[in-house]
Every structure is written in structure tokens, then in C-alpha cells.
Amino acid sequence: MENQVLTPHVYWAQRHRELYLRVELSDVQNPAISITENVLHFKAQGHGAKGDNVYEFHLEFLDLVKPELVYKLTQRQVNITVQKKVSQWWERLTKQEKRPLFLAPDFDRWLDESDAEMELRAKEEERLNKLRIESQGSPETLASLKKGYLFMYNLVQFLGFSWIFVNMTVRFLILGKESFYDTFHTVADMMYFCQMLAVVEAINAAIGVTKSSVIPSLFQLLGRNFILFIVFGTMEEMQNKAVVFFVFYIWSTAEILRYPFYMLSCIDMDWKVLTWLRYTMWIPLYPLGCLAEAVSVIQSIPIFNETGRFSFTLPYPVKIKVRFSFFLQIYLIILFLGLYINFRHLYKQRRRRFGQKKKKIH
């Protein structure tokens, strides 16, 4: 006896872009599902309301749909998804006004038009947020990249200043005081590199990559670069003076303590000895560095006066010659002002770091 061709129960729901159909058939075999000329054709062997039979139906849609469809078989049903050609709300599913007897709303998925619009907006916002996150990177990824970038920056600076420190120390142990007078020609290139790279540090503070204060970072950067590029770099007479050794040695000593501390902070490590050195050694090093820089400026004043470098004459009718040494004297005032600002800033950092521990003890 041939299997009787029957119509299964079909339930439907819609969204602005899609149609959902649920065919109540279990144990479906050999399904033939297609869309031709805007009509959905369904035929399959399965177990439905009339037992195990071949079930078949055809639906002509109210408006145009895409011919490609997606279906999924489960043990209890067949789920079909059809894409509308135009995103809009339909007043019914079929072209014929009278609803077929086998067709009914799928109340499990049913939404009215306003609710569907809200769902559509929510999905669109979710999609845009996902695209934004993918383009910008997730917060965890950005944090990892930031830590990696800061670790590499601090590592490069540490290696650069370590090279300067070791080079100067070894040369002093071998040559003694004689090493003072050719320090510039020996380590100036590396010092130039490190101090130019230090511009990144001020930028990081300015744009919020690090929590460092901008003004102290800028004071130190501009002050050191003024000494290195203007006072030492432009005057050969200054490059052979012993003061260069003391300036470079104090700078490098401070930095080989500071940069490893920042490196370990990037990987959430705290080495107590290094932390104590980082927050304590600046107390003698900063005043000594300021003193050495002041000596270099004072020694350069007569040389700048003699050579007339960077001096200029004001235009008519003033015609007054302005010597560069005038700006050097102003710089000396700024130098000690910068020392006060940095000293105050570092003292607050030290008190914040170690003051909490004292409170816990009491």
C-alpha cells in the first residue's frame, strides 16, 4: 500500500528581514525543500499527525523572497529560515488572503511589529559594537599591547643607559681621571639616542598611556636635552671638560634604577630592593645632577660670550646685542625651579608608596 501524501502542521513567524517556518515532523528523511518563482515547496518522509507518511505543502509568499533558504532538521521538527528581498513588515505570510488550514502563527517566536523593530535595533547595535570592538581590539588585548609596548620601551632605555654606565665605569677604573676628558666622544651617540627616545615618555604621560605627571616629565626632558644638545653638543670646547663625565654618570645611574622598576611594573612584579632604590636614590642623585648641570652652564657662559654663538642683535631702532649667555642665566633659575618641582613630585610619590606601610604597622 502506497504512503498517503499529507500536509503537515506548519507554524510561522517573521522579522523585518526574515521568515521563520517550523514544520511539525519528526524523524524526517529525504527532505526536498526549495523556492522557485517565489513559492516554497516542501516534501519529506516523516512522522506527523497522521503517522509515518510522505508530507508535502506549497506556500506562495506575499512578497518577494530570496531563493536561497536555510533549514535544520531536529528529532521533532524541521526549522526553515527564508530571507526577504526587502526588509519590511508583512501583514501576512501568503499571497492568498485566506490562511491555509495547515498554517498557524508560531507564538513561541511571534512578535508584533514594534517589538520586532526594537529587536532589530538591538541586533544592529550589537553588530556595530562588535565591529567597533574588533576594529579597536578588546580591552584585554589593548591592555596587553600597552604593557608590551611599555615593557619594550623601558627595556631599550635600560639597556642604553646601562651601556653608558658600564662603559664610563670601566674606563674610569682603567684610566682614572683621564677618562673624564673624553667622555663625550665615547658615549655621546648613545646618550643622544636615549634622550631623543625619552620624548616618547613625555608623550605617553601627555596622552594618558602612563599615569606619570606631564610637567615633571617635560621639565626633565627639556632640561637634559638643553644641556646635551645645546651646551655640550654645539660647543666643542665644552665636550672636553670633566663636568660632562659627572653629568652623564649621574643621569645614567638614576635611569638604570628607574627603568627596571617600570619594566617589572609592566608585568605586575614588585622587587622590594629595586622599589626602595627607585624611591630613595633620587634624594642624593637629583640635587647632584642639578649641581653638575649648573656647573656645565656656568662654565659654558664665557665660551658662548667669546664665540658669540646664538647671540643676535635686535632690529633698528633698538640695535641692542642680546648675548646667549643672558638666556643661560635665565636657564639657571629655571633649572633650580625644575629641581624643586621634580623633588616635590618624587617626594609625594615616595610618601604615597611607603606611607601606607607605616600606617599598617601602627
Task: For 183-193, write each residue's pLDDT tens digit.
Answer: 999 999 999 99
Above 50 in pLDDT, residue 54? yes
Confidence of residue 313 (pLDDT cuts 50, 70, 90): confident
pTM for the complete prediction? 0.62
Is pLDDT larger for residue 36 or for residue 138? 36
For the ranges 88-97, 159-168, 316-325, the maximum mean pLDDT occurs at: 159-168
For residue 297, with 0-12 CB atoms within 10 Å meaning exposed, 13-18 middle and 19 or more buried, which class applies? Answer: buried
Above 70 in pLDDT, residue 230? yes
Mean pLDDT for the stretch of residues 113-139: 75
Above 50 in pLDDT, residue 358? no
Q: What is the residue-averaged pLDDT of the chain? A: 89
What are the domain boundaries of the chain?
A: 10-136, 140-355
Residues involved in catalysis: 286, 293
**Is there a contact between 228 and 195 (Cβ–Cβ < 8 Å)?**
yes
Above 80 in pLDDT, residue 329? yes
Confidence of residue 4 (pLDDT cuts 50, 70, 90): low
Above 90 in pLDDT, residue 163? yes
Above 90 in pLDDT, residue 174? yes
Range 10-136 classified under CATH 3.30.565.10: no
The share of the chain scoring above pLDDT 70, in percent, equals 95
